[in-house]
Amino acid sequence: MCDTVSNHSTSPIPNALQGDACALPSNLAPVDCVLAANLLCRLPEPTAFLDRCRTLVKPGGVLVLVSPYSWLKGWTDKAKWLGGYYKVGVEGGAAWQLCYG
């Protein structure tokens, strides 16, 4: 799933691009806005995507990052999960415990 970013002429947003977040062209010009909706926790390398956004978004631009952080090992190696997540079966009676790391 590493296609190059393409321009979608049918998009309601002028000059909107969409592409593989894991294979964005290195020469892609900085953009006004990056929308990553419910995407981060479906990437094998979420930190690499966030690092790429540092230069992909113009100074003064916007990164819209929306995520339920529903990490799954099938998508992302557990060592690469970001932020909080829930763990089953902790001591103390709680069914779930918020964890970080």
Ligand X SMILES: C[S@@+](CC[C@H](N)C(=O)[O-])C[C@H]1O[C@@H](n2cnc3c(N)ncnc32)[C@H](O)[C@@H]1O
Taking the complex as a whole, how short is the minimal distance between the CB of residue 63 and ligand X, in angstroms? 15
Cβ proximity to ligand X: between 31 and 39 the closer is 39
**Nearest alpha carbon to residue 24 among 47, 51, 2:** 2
* 4 lines the binding site for ligand X (CB under 6 A): no
**Cβ nearer to ligand X, comparing 17 with 86:** 17
3-state per-residue secondary structure call for 35-93: EEECCHHHCCCHHHHHHHHHHHEEEEEEEEEECCCCCCCCCCCHHHCCCEEEEECCCCC
CB of 42 to ligand X, least distance (A): 4
Choices 19-27, 52-60, 76-84, 85-93; region in contact with ligand X by CB under 6 A: 19-27
- Under the criterion CB under 6 A, does residue 1 sit at the interface with ligand X? yes
Instruction: Report the site for ligand X in 20-79 (rule: CB under 6 A).
Output: 20-22, 37-39, 42-43
Which residue pairs, CB below 8 angstroms and at least 24 apart, start in 12-18?
A: none
Could you give the 3-state DSSP secondary structure of residue 32? strand
Question: Which stretches of the chain bind ligand X, using CB under 6 A?
Answer: 1, 20-22, 37-39, 42-43
